[in-house]
Amino acid sequence: MKTRTHSLALGIAMACFVEFGALIGASAGAAEPEPATQAVRTAVARALPVLAKGADGYMAERKCFACHHQTVPLLALATAGRRGFAIDDAYVERVASFVLRSLESGRSRYLEGRGQGGNTITAGYALWTLKLADHKPSETTAMVTEYLTKAQSKDIHWRVTTNRPPSEGSHFAATFVALRGLQDYGTAEQRKAVAGRLDEVRSWLAATEAKDTEDRVFRLWGLGILEADEAIVRKARDELVATQRADGGWGQLKESDSDAYATGTALVALREAAGMKPTEKAYRRGTAYLLKTQKDDGSWLVKSRSKPIQTFFETGFPHGPDQFISAAATGWAATALALSMPVRVEP
């Protein structure tokens, strides 16, 4: 089976495992990792197969794109790929094709300016997934970014239109994925059309209070992607760090216990948007929390707090009715752990 390691724009490569044994192997000539690093590598290696199994199971049962079974698992696989884990190009292509078919099924709605179910957050996450798969700009991506340039234009920011927390519960998240989609795939004309709005969004992000961890994570990431003033980004970073719990994790809400979804998203944002080093105390404590809460099957369990809007179906990911949020949590947790490891350079 063909394997490779590679990097993409924005510093992330798309990756998927070939087989479990290959995942824990280091690149040729690499030094033996320290015990703590080995524990992280083992945890990531255990998570990747169950993520891929769930993603395949989802695609076998449904035709609609879902961030919890495409974007976030592939983000984990991509991040791991840059750190010496074996990857399978055919898997990447299969996921990209699935996302493209899903977007094309909504072509008439996009052209009418209505978008698909989930609206801007679906469009933004779908484009992010395609970027992870190294999909080049196309008529399909231009169709979606054109929708994003016009969507909710009466508002300063982009917003969620459904209440399915945490993944579909934050205007900050909808705004971030829309910004990322436009950055990755927007045409020169489209970027020019939204330039003034981006200045307003930057001001909105800086001035608007985050209510929960999802808000704080994507507010920080949005400020980072818009290259806000360093002091503003630092303040947003400090606000997120301040909500870390005594056990090293983060909770989705002030009154909820720590879990892998909130902890994983917090660590990834701190690393990617604020440049936090894995050696910093907050990151080390978060990593320790994730290592001690991983299940024997490689997943992390998070209980859903969203009201179901569709009939439950099985994807092969563990945890029954809680498997969708748990798949997202496992993807974020694995990404956060992988980001604590050094990037491996091809010889």
Residues 34-61 pLDDT 10s = 557 899 999 999 999 999 999 999 999 9
What's the whole-number mean pLDDT along residues 128-155? 96
Give the other-Cβ count within 10 Å of 278's Cβ.
20
Residue 293 pLDDT greater than 70, yes or no: yes
Would you state the pLDDT for residue 347? 54
- Closest by Cα among 1, 6, 94, 86 to 48: 86
- Give the mean pLDDT of the chain: 89
What pTM value is reported for the model? 0.89
Distance CA 327, CA 331 (A): 6
Distance from the Cα of residue 41 to its chain's centroid: 19
Class for the domain spanning 9-338? mainly alpha
In angstroms, the Cα distances linking 170 to 51, 217, 235, 237 are 24, 10, 20, 18
Residues 211-223 pLDDT 10s = 999 999 999 999 9
3-class DSSP state of 335:
helix
List the domain boundaries for the chain.
9-338
Give the other-Cβ count within 10 Å of 69's Cβ.
27
